[in-house]
Every structure is written in structure tokens, then in C-alpha cells.
Amino acid sequence: MIRKTIFAALALSLSATVVAAPDSYQDAFELNRAMYGKGHTFVWQGKEYSTDHPEEIEAAVEANAANAAALIASAKAKNAEVAKLNFEWKLTRDIIKKAEAAAAKGEFRKALNLAAQAKYHARMGIEQYHYAQANWHLSVPE
């Protein structure tokens, strides 16, 4: 009897939980990325999208010296852009150095993945800068 009551209560609590549809593409992307990780396809407003970040898509090329060097250069450029805004993350430079070291050893897949990660962090730093510029007033005490 207790077991049936517990299962009934659990079923009611689960059925009462309603998941609202995401209001924006960003919300839909983040929800699906959190649930399924990279490499998943989801539908939002009738169109299919991937849960891959743009940098992961860039890294999904043939693992060779030229592609690794190009993505590392792109990550450095994006990091220079965020550095000019004074929102560079310290770990990004370290990841770029690791990508360069991997490329020097001929570990091109590793270099591509690290460069993609560094470029992602730089892009997030730029987003953080823009958020801070738009919402600076929230950090001022009332």
C-alpha cells in the first residue's frame, strides 16, 4: 500500500511539471546543449539546429598542420579582440599555448580542439564585456 502511494505521488508530481517552450533560439540552444551535449540536432520554430558551438564546427575539419595553424591564428585574433576590451580570460592564453605545443608535436586533432576551446573562451569574454556594459548599473549598491 505504501509503495502504491509513493508511486502515485511521484507520478502526480512528474505530470504536474510542465516544461515551457524556450522563448529564444539562445534558450533553446542552451537547453539542448545542457541536456544532450555537442553533436545533437534539435528543432526550434520548425528548423533544425545543432548543439555545436561555432568553434566546434570550425574544428571539425581534417586534422592537418594547415588547418590547425589557421584555427590557432583565428583563436589568437579573437583573444586579441577581447584583450583590447580588457576582458581577456587568463586561461585562454594558456590554452592557445597548449594548442601550439600540440601542433608542434604533430597532434593536429588535439591542437584543433584546444584552439576551438580558446576561441570559445575569447568569444565568451566578449559577450561578458557587452553584458557588463549593458548592465553595469546592477552592480551599484542602492
What are the structural domain ranges in the chain? 18-52, 55-139
Question: Confidence band (pLDDT; 50, 70, 90) for 140?
Answer: confident
- Would the pLDDT of 4 be above 70? no
- Would the pLDDT of 77 be above 70? yes
What is the structure's pLDDT at 123?
A: 96
CA 87 – CA 135 distance, rounded (Å):
15
What is the structure's pLDDT at 142?
A: 79
What is the structure's pLDDT at 21?
A: 75
pTM metric for this prediction: 0.76
Please give the radius of gyration of the chain, using alpha carbons only, rounded to the nearest integer. Answer: 21
pLDDT in tens, 25-46: 999 999 999 999 999 999 999 9
